[in-house]
Amino acid sequence: NAGVTQTPKFQVLKTGQSMTLQCAQDMNHEYMSWYRQDPGMGLRLIHYSVGAGITDQGEVPNGYNVSRSTTEDFPLRLLSAAPSQTSVYFCASRGLATGEEQFFGPGTRLTVL
C-alpha cells in the first residue's frame, strides 16, 4: 500500500493562476480531508468528505473547491491563487470505525507570488 499520496511536492504559482493539488489513497477509506499548515497557526481544516459525492466545508474553505468522484481521489482546486494561500497542504484519510487514526500524506508546499 502506498498510503496517502500527494502531488506535486512543491509548486510555485503566480497570483491569479489556478491549479489542482492531487490526493489519492489506496486504503479504501471513506473519510478524506484537506488541511493547510501555516507557522503559528497549526493545521486548519479546509474541506472534508465522508464518501464519494459528499463534501463539506471546514474552518477555512474560501478560495478552495473540492469534489469527490471516487473513493480514492480527493483533489483540491485553487481557482485564482492569492499570496495568502502560500502554505503547506496536507491531505488525510481514515476508515469508518470509531476513533480510527487519520493517515496523512507527505504534503505539498505551495508558494504564490
Partner 1 sequence: AQSVTQPDIHITVSEGASLELRCNYSYGATPYLFWYVQSPGQGLQLLLKYFSGDTLVQGIKGFEAEFKRSQSSFNLRKPSVHWSDAAEYFCAVGAGQAGTALIFGKGTTLSVSS
16, 70, 106, 113: which one contacts partner 1 (CB under 8 A)? 106
Judged by CB under 8 A, does residue 53 bind partner 1?
no
74 binds partner 1 (CB under 8 A): no
C-alpha closest to that of 84 among 60, 106, 65, 104 = 60
Residue 41 or 80 having the CB closest to partner 1 = 41
Secondary structure E strands in the chain: 4-7, 10-13, 19-25, 31-38, 42-51, 54-57, 64-66, 76-78, 87-94, 103-104, 108-112
Measured between alpha carbons, how far is 30 from 98 in angstroms, rounded to an integer? 13
Asked whether position 79 contacts partner 1 by CB under 8 A, the answer is no
Tell me whether strands 42-51 and 103-104 are parallel, antiparallel or unpaired: unpaired
Q: How far is the CB of 45 from partner 1 (least distance, A)?
A: 5
Does 17 sit near partner 1 (CB under 8 A)?
Answer: no
Classify 27 as helix, strand or coil: coil
By the rule CB under 8 A, 25 interacts with partner 1: no
Binding site for partner 1 (CB under 8 A): 31, 33, 35, 40-45, 48-50, 56, 58-59, 90, 92, 94, 96, 98-99, 101-102, 104-107
